[in-house]
A and B are shown apart, each in its own frame.
Chain A
Amino acid sequence: TMAATKASKEQKYDRQLRLWGDHGQETLENAHVCLINATATGTEILKNLVLPGIGAFTIVDGHTVSGEDAGNNFFLSNNSIGRSPDKLLDNDPEFFHRFTIVIGVQLPESTCLRLGSVLWNASVPFLICKTYGLIGYMRLVVQEHTVIESHPDNALEDLRLDQPFEEFKNHTNSYDLDSMDKKDHSHTPWIIIVAKYLEKWLSEHNDQLPKNYKEKEAFRQTIREGIIKTDGGVPEDEENFEEAIKNVNTALNLTKIPSSIENLFNSEQCNSITSQSSPFWVMLRAVKEFVHDEGKGSLPVRGTIPDMIADSQKFINLQNVYREKAMQDAAAVSKHVECLLRSVGKPPESISEKDIKLFCKNASFLRVVRCRSLAEEYSVDSVNKDEIASYMDNPDSEMVFYLMLRAVDRFYQQHSRYPGVYNYQVEEDINKLKVCVNSLLQEYSLSVNIKDDYIHEFCRYGAAEPHTVSAFLGGSAAQEAIKIISHQFVPFNNTFIYNAMSQTSATFQL
C-alpha cells in the first residue's frame, strides 16, 4: 500500500531525513542522474546516490568489462547504454538535457570540453570526477546554483538587541526587575536582562552602545551588580544573570546585513525580475524591497532564540514575541512577492507562503554558487593564472596535482594512451610527460616550477584507479551531487583535489 511504502521509507531514510528533511528527500526521489563511465569511481558515486534514494539513473559507458575492472569495481552488472559519450555528443547531444545532473568519470579532456559546452548551454549541472593513482579530482560546472537552506554550522543569533523592535520593547517594559520576587528574578531570560540594562546604559551614555572592551566590561559589571544579594551582601546564585554576562559580547553585535547578501541584492538577477526569474530571485528582490521599506534597513527577523535559563512561561512568551515579529515581517515580504509576480504576469500563488517563510528565516544564510565554465578555465585568455601561480609558491601544494592531471591529459591527446601504464613505459614516459608539462606551462605562460618527483610519480601511477581512492571520491562526489539536487548545503566552487598520500585536500577556483 502507499501508506506502508511511505512508512517504511520514513524508517529506512530516518537518519538522513534528519539532515535534509522530507522536502530535501523529495528532490532526490524526483531526480534523474546521468553517470558517464561505470568505472570503480563511477559505481562508487552511484552507490552513494542509490542508497539515499535517488529517483532514477542512466549510465552511459561504451567500454566492455575487463579483468582490471573486475578487480577494483564492486558492481559488475549494471543497466548501461552501450554507447560512448562521444558518440552521443556527435549524434544526439540533447540526450543530456533531461538530466538533473551529469556526472562524468575518467573522461579525457576533449570529451569534458565538448560535454561541458553542451551542458552549460542547457543549464544542466556537470560534475567531473577523476581518480588517478592516489589523487582524486573533482570539478563542478554550474552557471548559477542558489541555496536557501545552507545550514551554517555556527550561525549568530538574530536578537536585535542593538535595535529593539516595538513589540520587543513593549515586552521588556512589562518586566520590572527591581520589584520581582527572587524566583521570578532568577528565572528571567538573559535576553530581557541585557535589554533592561542596555536601556539604562543608553540613557546614561548619550544613546551610545558599549563599543570597546573597557565599555563592555563596565556594562557587564552593571549586570553583575543586579544580582540579588543576601542580607550579608553576598551575591546569590543566579544562573540567568551569569548567562547574560557571558552573552554580552555576542548580544551587542550590531544587526547588520551580511556583505554576501548585499552583494546578492546588487546583482543583475535581483535587479531585473522577469517572468523567467526563479523563485529565489523573486523572493530575494522582495526581501530587498522589504529592507528599504518595512525593514528599515534590516532583514526580516529570523524569529528563533537559543534556549536559556528561564521558567517556561517567560521563555515561551519571549519566544512568541520573536516568532510573531518574524511572521509579520514574512507577511510584509509576501506582499512584495505578490506585487513582483503580478508585475511579470505570474499568479501570486506561484510562490507559497511556506517557501517565503523558509526564505525569510534563512535570509542571512542565502548562498549563490557560480562556477566558471570549462571553456573559461581552459582558454589561454581567461585561465586563472593568479590562482595557479600563488598556490604554486609552495611547490608541494595540491595545485601541482591539478597541473599534472592537465599534463597527463595532454599526454593522452598526443600519444592516445596514458603514461606508464606498462612497466617498461614508466622510465621512458617520464621525459615525454615532462615535455607535456612544459608545453602546458608555456601555453598558459605559467612560470611555476613542477618538481621532477611529481612527473615521475604520475608515470608511476600508470593511470591506476585504486579502489580506496575511488571510494573516497565516490563519497565526496555523491554528496556534492546531492547538494546540487536538493539545493541544501553548499557545493564546492569549483576544483577539488584529494591527495591520498598525505590525506590532505584543497579547493581551488579555476
Chain B
Amino acid sequence: MPAGRRDPAAQSARRPPPLLPLLLLCVLGAPRGGSGAHTAVISPQDPTLLIGSSLLATCSVHGDPPGTTAEGLYWTLNGRRLPPELSRVLNASTLALALANLNGSRQQSGDNLVCHARDGSILAGSCLYVGLPPEKPVNISCWSKNMKDLTCRWTPGAHGETFLHTNYSLKYKLRWYGQDNTCEEYHTVGPHSCHIPKDLALFTPYEIWVEATNRLGSARSDVLTLDILDVVTTDPPPDVHVSRVGGLEDQLSVRWVSPPALKDFLFQAKYQIRYRVEDSVDWKVVDDVSNQTSCRLAGLKPGTVYFVQVRCNPFGIYGSKKAGIWSEWSHPTAASTPRSERPGPGGGACEPRGGEPSSGPVRRELKQFLGWLKKHAYCSNLSFRLYDQWRAWMQKSHKTRNQVGRTLPDSRRGTRDRPTPALAGEREATRIESSGSGDVLWGLSREGEDPVPRNPRPI
C-alpha cells in the first residue's frame, strides 16, 4: 500500500453510508491500522515543557508484525509532517526526533506528536504540553449584591496566555477564624470570576486571594482584605420614568424608586443620572443627586429625544463611612422635549434665550451671586438653571400676554417643599401659584426688569 493512501473500504466504514445497502460494505471493509498503536511507543509520553526548550523524542517499534523496522517511519506534529532532517534513525527499531525552541502549544489539550508507519497509519502518539507557569493573578475586586452574596473578579497575570490549561481557585477566609474556603461557582461574570452564594459573615473582614495552577507551576495573588459592608451594591433603581415638564422645551423630569432590596437596611442612597441625545454617544452625568428620587434636567435641546439612566450607590450601610459600589445603570428610558415654538437654533445648556444684549453683564453678576449663595446659603438648590427656568417662563408669559385667552405655562418644581429664604437686599422672591396641582414656581424678580405679575391669570 503506497504511503499516505487509505483503504477505500475503510473510508466507507468511517462515513455513515448514505444508503442502506452500504451497511453490507461495512462488514467487508475492516478499518486499517487496527493494531498499529500497540506496536510502537513514543518516549517521552505526554511531557510538559517550557516555551523555548528542546525535546528529544523516540519512536520505538516493537517488531510486531515481524520485520517492522524504523525504516520509512515519519513524524507529524499537529497533523503536519515534520521535515526529515529533524529525524534520525537511532537503530533498527527506533526513530529519533529533535525539536528545538518549542513554541507554546497550539491547543490546551496538548500538541499531537505522532509516529507514522510508512503507509501513513498511526503507530503511536504523545501529547506535548509547552507553555509557561502561571503569573500572579492581580486586580481582585469583589462586590456583594444586597449583602447576600459575594462575587469576585480578577485578572490573570500580566502576560495572560500560558498556552496550558490554568486552573484558578478563589479562596477566602474570615480574618481571625482560620479555616480556608474555596469558591465553587466560577465564570459567573466573565471567565475569571467566582460567586459565593451564601454563608457570609458581616462585621468581620474577609481575606480573599486567587491561586493559579497549571502543569508548570502555580502562583498566588496578593491577599485582599475586605468587609462585606464596604462593598455592597444594589440593583439599579427600578421604575425610572422620564416625562416632560409641561410645555418647557428644555427640561425633562426624571423619577425613580429606591431599590427595594435594601429598604430594610439602614443606608443612604446616592444617585447618579446620565443622559444623552438619541444620536450621540456622549453621556452627560448629573452627580449630586443625593437621596432624592426625582430630578429635573434642564438646559436641554427642544424637540429632541433623550435617553436617561439612573444608578444607585448605597453608602453608609449600618453607619459605615465608606461609599458602597455603584449599581449597574438602569435600563435606558427615553423621552423627548417639546418642540421649540420659536424658530432658530435650540439653546445649549446655559445659553440665553433670544437676544438680549443687556443681559450679558446681568447674567455674569447673577452667576457670581448664585455661586456665593451656594457656598453661604443653606439652600443650595438655587442655580443657574433656576434662572433659565424663570427666563423661559418670562418669555412664554410675554407671548401669552400678547395673545388673548392663552393660559399661563404649567410649571412644576421637582422638589416641592423647599422654601426660599428671604434674600438679602435687591431681590425678592415672589410666589406664584399655578392652579390645579398646587405646585409652586419660585421666581426671582429684579428691579429694572419686567416684574413678575403679582396677579397671575388663572389657568
Binding partners A and B? no
